Amino acid sequence: MATHSKGISDYNKSKTTEDNLICDLLAKEINAHLSEAENKIWHGHPVWFLDGNPITAYRLTVMSTP
């Protein structure tokens, strides 16, 4: 199984404990299904590429409550 880059690991670790767990799970599942994809931080977010084309990504959106 493919692994994610150090940049993606660092991105995930920079999140809260709960968000880190979610990000790690997302990265693990994406790697499991796109094992041939290159992955890196692109424009500040984890992105997976096939043949140089971005295929999927995730980002944490913080929503504030009024």
Delimit the domains of the chain by residue range.
Answer: 6-57
Within 13 Å and on the Cβ side, how many CA atoms surround 46?
A: 27
The Cα–Cα gap between 62 and 24 comes to 17
* Residue 51 predicted with pLDDT over 70: yes
- The H or E element that residue 50 is part of is strand 45-50
pLDDT value of residue 1: 54
Within 13 Å and on the Cβ side, how many CA atoms surround 13?
A: 7
More confident residue, 34 or 61: 34
pLDDT value of residue 63: 78
pLDDT value of residue 65: 77
pLDDT digits (tens, 9 = 90+) for 5-49: 999 999 999 999 999 999 999 999 999 999 999 999 999 999 999
